[in-house]
Chains A and B, each alone.
Chain A
Amino acid sequence: PLGTILRQNIIKQWWKSVCVSQDNVFPVENTLIDTLTMKKKRKNSQQKQISLDTLQHYSSVYNMVQGQLPFGIATVKTDFGTDVTQKETNKVLYNSPQYASMLLYYFVHPRNEKISFDFWKRHRIQWWKSFADNPSNFTMGQVRKEEDYTQLDILYSFPWGDDTIETLRNYNEGFQPGAKMTKTVKKKRSRKLAGVEEDPNATIATIPHMFETNAVLERAVLAYLLDACNDTNGKRISKRRKNDETLLLNLHRKLAPYTVALSTPERPNQHIQEVTRQLVQELRKAEISVLSTHDPRPIEEQYERYSGMGIPLCLTLHEGTLDNGLLYMRHRNTKIKEEIHVTKVCEYLLKFLAAD
C-alpha cells in the first residue's frame, strides 16, 4: 500500500508541475485499445519513437486553443514492452514488460524553440531535484543527436551507475508530426534568404515545433526510494552521534505516503483516544493524510517504524495533553519532540505541506 501511495503522490506532483501550473497544457487519456492498435500500426510506421495514441488528440487540443502556440498534451499511460529503454537486464524495475509513462508533448512557435526547450530542460530537472534529499544525484545527461530529434536524458545515480529516468526530445524541423496530423499547413516554411523578401501579409501557417518529455514512473519511485535512504540499507548513521543507527526513509514531505502518523500510548487511555479521534478527524477533513493504526509496541519502536516508512512527523498525545492540550510532534530527522497545542496541529501541517 505504501508503494502505491508513493506512486500516486509522484503522479500528483507531476500533474501539478506539468499541467496545472502551465498555460495551455491539457491532459488526455487513452483507452487500452487505442494503445494496442497504435502499437500495431506503429510497427509499420516510420515514427517508431512517437506515442501516436497520445498524439491522436493533437487536433482536438489544437482546436481547443484555437491554434495559439504554445500548448501541450500531457498523459500518464501504461505502456508495454521495452520501447523506451533498450533491453535492460539485471536492473530492478527496468526490464518490466509493463510500465507507466508520464508523457508531455509540447508545441511551440519555431521562433521560441531554443528558449522554450531550455525552459523545459530546466523545469524538468528542477522538478526531480525539488523532491530529492540529495539533489546532486539527479543530473542531466549528454546531448544525443539522433536522426529525427535531439535527445537529453535526466539521469539518476543508481547503485549500478547513472541511468535514465526521463528523456527529453527536441524533434527536428523535418520531423514534426504536427505537420502531418493537421492540415493547417499551406506551405513549407522557407528559410529567408538574402534578398528574397517574403510577403509579410501572407498568412503562413507555422508548423509548431514539438518537444517530448517522457518520465517513467517506476523509475521515479525507485529513484526517490533510493534517494531517501541515507545509506544502502536504509539505516541512518549519524556522523555526530555515535552508535546511532536508525531506520530512516528521508522521503520528501510531499511524496511521503503519510504526512503524519499518530502513535498509540503504551497503556490505552480512553480519554486520550477520544482526543486523538477528534484530531484525526480534523486532519482528514483538511485533506492531510494521516496514518492512525493501533500499534502495541513501545513508543520509541513506533517512532522508528514510522521513520522507516518515510513519515516526516509523528504525533503523540499523552496524559498531559488532557490537562493543557499540548502534545508531542516528533520530527523524523532530529528525533526531537516538539510541543504543540492540539488546536494548532492542523494549521501547522497545512503550512508544512504548502511550503516550498
Chain B
Amino acid sequence: PRRMQHVMSNSPHELTKQRRSSLILSQNRLKSNLVSNKQDEVRKNSVNIQMLSQSLYEQVFKTKPDSEHNVISADDIISHLSKFELWGKETTINDDVDVKLPRLQGKDISEHFYKIGFEQTEEFMSRAGDFIAQAIPEKPQKWNFKPGWTRYNKDGSMSLVPHPDEEIMVFDVEVLVPEGNFPTMATALTPNHWYSWCSERLVSERYRWVKDTSLSDLIPLETANNQTVPPSGEWKSRLVIGHNVGYDRSFVKEQYFIKGPKTRFLDTMSLHIAVSGFTSLQRILKAGIAKESQRKEVKAAELRNKSIKDAQWLLEGSMNNLSDVYALHCKEGALDKETRNIFVTGNMKDIRDNFQMLMNYCASDTHATYKVFKGLWPDFRERFPHPVTLAGMLEMGSAYLPLNYSWQKYTTESEATYVDLQRQLRLMLMKIADDACLMIEDEQYKEDVWMWDADWSVKRAKMKIKPKLSAKRQREELKKLEEAGDSEEERVKRVLETASRLPKNISHKPNFPIWYADLCPRLKDDDWSPGPTKISTQTRITPKLLQLTWEGFPLHYDDDLGWGYLVPAPPLGEYGTPEDHQEQEFNVLIDESDAGPKFPIEALKAMCDSLMPEKESFPPAGPDPRLLLNEDIHMDDVNKCMRIYWQNKKKPKKDKIKKTDANLSVPTYHKGIGPYTQVIPGVHFFKLPHKDGDNNNVGNPLAKDFLAKLEDGTLSTVAGGEAFRALELSKMCSYWRNSRKRILSQMTIWMKESELSSNIVKSRDYDVNGMYGAIVPRIVTAGTVTRRAVEPTWLTASNAYTDRVGSELKAAVQAPPGYHFVGADVDSQELWIAAIMGDSYFARQHGSTAFGWMTLQGNKTEGTDLHSKTAAMMGISRDQAKVVNYARIYGAGRLFAQRLLRRLNHQLTEDEVRGKVNFMFNSTKGRIKFKYDDKEKEFYKREKSWEGGSESHMFNKLEMIAESDQPATPVLGCRISRTLEPSAVDTDFMTSRVNWVVQSSAVDYLHLMLVSMRWLFQQFNIDGRFCISIHDEVRYLVKSEDRYRAALALQITNLWTRSMFAHSLGMSDLPQSVAFFSAVDIDKCLRKEVHQDCKTPSNPHGLEQGYGLPSGEALDIYKILKLTNSSLTKSRQPNKSDLKAKCAGLKTQDRVLEAKDHDLEINDDEFDTKSGDFETKDGGTEPNKGDEETRNDNIVDLNQDISEIFEELESQVR
C-alpha cells in the first residue's frame, strides 16, 4: 500500500489525501531554535530551513497541491536528523528576495510550464501529426543535375527554386568526405513535394582551391542566394526532421546567422534513443552477441544470465544508425548502405558519374527517415507526454558557438605549442637514450634493472673480403704498384678505392648497441636526422629508458603479459612452502640453461631497500597479513580462474604460460595483479592494471590511462630530472594529442561583413579588420537513454588546466561585439534532485532527511555538508569524498568504494578499508531489509528497502521509481527507454535504471529551464538566443544591453524550475537557498568561472593579456535585482552611467561573492577526467567523418552516462 501511495504522488493532481496535522510542529519547538530577530522575519519550515519570502511564495505557489502532509510525525523527523547530529544546528539565513515575477500562466506552476511548453511546440506538433497522417508524394524517377534547389512538381515537371518554401520537411545531406566540410547533395521531402539540392562544386567542374567553407557553399533553407534575409522579410517557423539532424543542420546556411531563423530541427535518432535506445553496456552486449565477442562485459553477463541471447530487451531496442532504427520501427528489411562508400572514399568525378544513383540513395535515406519518424512519433508522444520535453529538445538542437580571431589564434597556438613540446620531449628522450648508451662500457648495463634485457649487442661495419687473387695476378698487381710508384697520391687513392668493397647495404649504425640503432633512422630515409630520433613515448624501450617504477618497483615488459613490474620474491622459507622452494630452485635451473640475459636480482633488491623507507612497516604489525589476503583470494578466485581460462583460450598453443598460483609464496608486502613467477626466476612479476580489466595486457604505461597514476606518484621514475620532465611533457601534450583532430576539424564558417547581423556591425567594439564566424555544433539532442545531449567536442570540453596544451578550448569561443554570454551552473543539481526525492518520500518536507538537510543547509565550516561528513567518516580529503559521494549516488557499490579508498590511502589495511567503507555505507545508504511475502513464497517476491542511513529514503524513492512497472521521471513524466523497462530486463541493469531516475530528471530540469528562458525572452523582448548547455550549465548569447535582464530571467527560470520540481513531488514550498543561482555569469567567452584566466602552455599570457579579454561579472540575485530595478521590462531610457556607477559599487562585493562561489560550486573535475576517459576509449577508432552511421553510434559511445562507468568499474571488481 505504501508503494502505491508514492507512485501516485508522482503527479500532483492525484495526491492522496493525508492527514496534515501531524507534521505541523509545535510552535514552541520552532521558537527554541531562533537566534536573531532577522530569523523571525523569514519564513522557515519545520526543520528550520529558510523558505522563499512570503511574496515569492505567494506568487509561485498560488494554489497548494491538492494534498496534505505525510504520515511522518515531527518527532520522527527530529529523531532522524538528530541521529546524524543535524537537528538543532544553526541554519544560514539570507536576505529575503522580493521581486515581482511574471504572472504564471495557468493556475499553478505545473500548468504554467505545460502551457508555455505547449505554446512553443503546438505548431510543430500539429504539423508533424498532419505530416505522418497524409500521403506523401512519389519519389521522382530522375533527378535534376543543376546547382541549387529543384522542386519536383506533381505533374512530373521540375522547377528551380531558391529554397523549399514549406513548413515541415524531412531533410538529408550527403557530404563527399575527402573534399572537406562541403555539402555535396541533399534531398528534402515535404507533404507536397520532393526537392533535391546540388552543390555548385558538383555541377561545375571547376577545381576549388579554397579549403575554408563559406556561407555560399552551404545549403539555403530560407533565403535566396547571397541574401541574408528571407524573401518576405519575415522569418517563418519551420520544422526540419532528420536522422542525426544536428549533422545536416551544420550544412544549413541560415543556421550560422546569430539572429533570425525560426527553423527548428527534430532528430529522429534522439527520438529513437529516448524511446528505445540501448545503454552503452547494452550496446556492447548486443555487439558481443553478434560477434561472439570475448569481451569481459559479455562474459560477465553470460555468467549471470545464460540466456542473454533471448533477452527481451534485445528486441525492444536497436543500434542508433538509420538502418537499424528503420528495421526496428518500420519492421522492414535493412537499408542499402553500400552506396554510401562512394561518399567516403570517392571523388567528385565518381559522384558525377553516379549522380542519379547517389541522389536516389540520398532520397531513400530521406524516405526511410520519414518512415522512421512516422513510426516513432506516436510512441514518442505517448512516452514523453509533456510538451516541455519536445520544446527542450528542439531548443538544445539550436546550439550556436560564435567565433572570432581568438579561435584561429587558439588553434594555431595550441598546435604550435604541441609540436614544440613534442620536439622537446623527443630531444629529452634522445638525451636519455644517449646517456644510457654510456652503460656499454664495462657492460654496466648488466646491473641495470631496466636495461638489462635490452639488446646490447653491436654490429661491426662489414666490408667485402678482398678478392683472392691467383699467384700470377698477385704478381702482376705488385708489379703494377711498383710501376705506379708509391707516391702519396697513389697511397691515398688505394685507401679510397676500398669503397668498391663496401657492401650494397651498409650496416646501420655500426658499433652502436642494437636497441639504440633501432631508434635511429636510416641514412637513406627522407627525414633523416642525427641521433635516435625515432624515439617517442610509444616506443617499447622508452619506459625502461625512463627508469619507470610502479609503487617503487621497476617496470618490465613481457611478451605474453605486457607491461608489469618486478618485485623481489620473499626470502625462501620465510613464507613459502617446501613446494615453493622446489619450484623456485627448478626455475633457477631453467635459467642457467637459458642463454638470455640474466636479471640483476641483487640490484633490484638493493634498489627496493633504498627506495622503500616504509619497508619496515611491511609486513605490518598485527595479524598475519596472509590471513587477510586469503579472505580476498576467495573473492578474487573467480577472477583468477577467468584469467587463466582466458590465457589458455587466447593462446592455446603456448602451454608454457606463465601462470599464477594463488598459493605460491605471495610477497606479503605487495598486492597486485599476479604474481607471475615464471617470467623471471626469483622475481615476481605483477601486471600493470588495465582499465578494461586484469585480463588485458598493458601495451604502454605512458598512455593516457596512466596519467592519473603519474600524477599521484604510483607510476614514477627514479631517474629524476629529465625523465620526470619527459613524463610531464608527455602529460602536457595529452589533451591536445587526443583532441586535436576533433578540434581542428571543426567546421568553422567565417562571415563577410555583409553577412553579419547589424547588432554586431553596429556595435561600438566592431573591428572592420576582425574575423567573425561561428560553429554549429553537431549535437545529438538526446544521445543517451537518460536523454542527455551528446556531442564529442563541446559537451566533453574540459576546463582549462595550466599543464594541458589546448585545454582553454572553451575560452576560445567568444561573443561577438555587442553580445555577451549570460549563463549559470545549476548548483549541485544532481545532489539536489536526489535529495528532494528523498525528502518527498520521507516527510514531504524540504530537508527532512539528513541527506536533504545536508544538501540544503550543509556548511563546510561546521562540517555539516555531505562531502565533509563523508571525508571525516573515511579519513580522506573533502575532494576525494566528493568522488565517493557521487559514485554512491550514481549507484556504485561497496566494492567500488573499497577500491577507491585503497587507492587513495595505501596505508590502510584491508580490514580498515572494509571497515570504513561498511561504516560509510551503513550510515548513508543504510542497510537493506527484505520483506518476504509469505503468501507467495514460491516466487520469493520480496520487497526490499533501505533503512537507517542518511540516504536510505532517497534510495528507496529512486528504486521505487526504477522498479515500478512503468518507470517515469517524477516531474515531466518521461518514461524510461523500452530496453530498460522491467518487462524487458526484469531485475538486470539496476544501476543504470536507478541512475536514470536522477539523470533523466536532471534533463527534465534542463528542458524546463530552456523552455522558461525562451518564454521570458519572448515576453520581455530580450534580444538573445540559446548558445549551449554543457552538463548542468546553460549559456545564452545576449545582446549586451539586455544582459542584466537576461540574468534576471535566468534567476526567475531557476526559481520556477525548482518550484516545479517541488510541486511535482508534492511539496508546495521551496527553500530560499536553492531558489536562485548563486551566481549568473556575464562574460565574453565560455569558461568555468568569470575570473579564470585560463593559462595553459598554449596560452601562457592568459586570457586577459594574451587575448585582451577581461574578467566577466558574476552576479548573485541581489546584485541583479539592483541592476535591473527588479524588472524584466526594458527601461525606456537606460541610464548607462548610472549602471556603471552601480557596477563599480558592486565590485568589492564581487570579490566576496567570488570566494563564496568557490565553496558553492560542485567541482566536477573528477567527472571531467571521466569523460576524458571515454575519449581515449574511442580515441583509437576515431569515427570516420563521413561515415555517418557508424559515427552516430560512436558519438554515443563517447558519452556513456556516468552510471555506466560505475557499472563497468564495479563489474571489474566483481
Contact = CB atoms under 8 A, between A and B. Distances in A.
Given A140-B1100, A143-B1106, 6 more contacts: A240-B439, A240-B444, A241-B441, A274-B488, A275-B491, A351-B523
Contacts of A336: 437, 440, 511-512
B436 interface: yes
A143 B1101 CA distance: 7
Nearest to A135: B424
Interface string B1041-1064: 000000000000000000000000
Given A339-B461, A343-B499, A334 B437 contact: yes
Interface stretch (A67-75, A85-93, A111-119): A111-119
Nearest to B450: A240
Contacts of B769: 110-111, 113
Contacts of A335: 437-438, 441
B450 to A, nearest CB: 9
A126 B417 CA distance: 10
B860 interface: no
Interface string B509-543: 11110001000000100001111000000000000
Contacts of A339: 460-461, 510-511
Per CB-CB distance, the 9 closest pairs between chain A and chain B, nearest first, are A325-B498, A339-B461, A334-B437, A355-B529, A111-B769, A143-B1105, A333-B434, A241-B438, A194-B762
Contact residue range for chain A? 35 or more
Given A118-B412, A192-B768, A351 B496 contact: no
A64 interface: no
A342 B498 CA distance: 9
A348 B413 contact: no
A334 B1101 contact: no
Contacts of A348: 523
B672 to A, nearest CB: 27
Contacts of B722: 239
Interface string A335-356: 1111111111000100110011
How would you classify the secondary structure of chain B's contact residues: helix, strand, loop or mixed? helix
Contacts of B725: 136
Given A111-B769, A325-B498, A326-B463, A122 B413 contact: yes
Interface string A81-125: 000000000000000000000000000001101110010001000
A8 B98 CA distance: 76
B423 interface: yes
B467 interface: no
Interface string B1201-1213: 0000000000000
Nearest to A129: B420
A343 B496 contact: yes
B761 A194 contact: yes
Interface in B758-778: 761-763, 766, 768-769
Contacts of B424: 129, 135-136
Nearest to A126: B420
A45 interface: no
Contact of B516 (A110, A113, A195, A334): A334
A334 B434 contact: yes
A274 B463 contact: no
Contacts of A321: 495
A355 B512 contact: no
Given A192-B768, A239-B721, A240-B436, A275 B460 contact: no
Contacts of B492: 274-275, 278
Contacts of B904: none
Given A114-B405, A324-B498, A334-B512, A240 B530 contact: no
Contacts of B761: 194
B655 interface: no
B436 A122 contact: no
A60 interface: no
A233 B1061 CA distance: 71
Contacts of B423: 129, 135
A93 B763 CA distance: 51
Interface in A232-249: 238-242, 244
Nearest to A136: B424
Interface of B: 405, 408-409, 412-413, 416, 420, 423-424, 427, 431, 434-441, 444, 448, 451, 460-461, 463, 488, 491-492, 495-496, 498-499, 501-502, 506, 509-512, 516, 523, 528-531, 719-722, 725, 761-763, 766, 768-769, 1100-1101, 1105-1106
A114 B770 CA distance: 9
Contacts of A135: 420, 423-424, 427
B496 A325 contact: yes
A271 B502 CA distance: 21
A324 B463 contact: yes
A163 B149 CA distance: 63
A206 to B, nearest CB: 11
Contact of B438 (A140, A275, A334, A340): A334
Contacts of B721: 239
16 contacts: A136-B424, A140-B1101, A142-B1105, A239-B719, A240-B436, A274-B491, A325-B496, A334-B512, A335-B437, A337-B511, A338-B510, A338-B511, A340-B510, A343-B499, A351-B528, A355-B529
A1 B528 CA distance: 32
A322 interface: yes
Nearest to A335: B438
B495 A238 contact: no
B383 to A, nearest CB: 51
Contacts of A338: 509-512
A42 interface: no
A293 B352 CA distance: 72
A305 interface: no
Nearest to A237: B435
A239 B720 contact: yes
Contacts of B530: 253, 352, 355
A93 to B, nearest CB: 26
A304 to B, nearest CB: 14
B673 to A, nearest CB: 29
Contacts of A323: 498
Contacts of B510: 338-340
A343 B495 CA distance: 9
Given A111-B769, A339-B510, A325 B495 contact: yes
A292 to B, nearest CB: 16
Contact of B495 (A114, A129, A322): A322
Given A143-B1105, A324-B501, A341-B498, A238 B528 contact: no
B502 A341 contact: yes
A274 B719 CA distance: 46
A54 to B, nearest CB: 27
A340 B502 CA distance: 10
A111 B770 CA distance: 8
Nearest to B408: A115
B435 A326 contact: no
Nearest to A195: B762
Contacts of B441: 241, 335
A333 B440 CA distance: 13
B365 to A, nearest CB: 41
A271 B489 CA distance: 10
Contacts of A322: 495
A337 B420 CA distance: 31
Contacts of B763: 194
Interface in A122-175: 122, 126, 129, 133, 135-136, 139-140, 142-143
Nearest to B768: A192
Contacts of A344: 502, 506
Contacts of B1106: 143
Nearest to B762: A194
A196 to B, nearest CB: 11
Contacts of A195: 762
B1105 A244 contact: no
Contacts of B440: 336
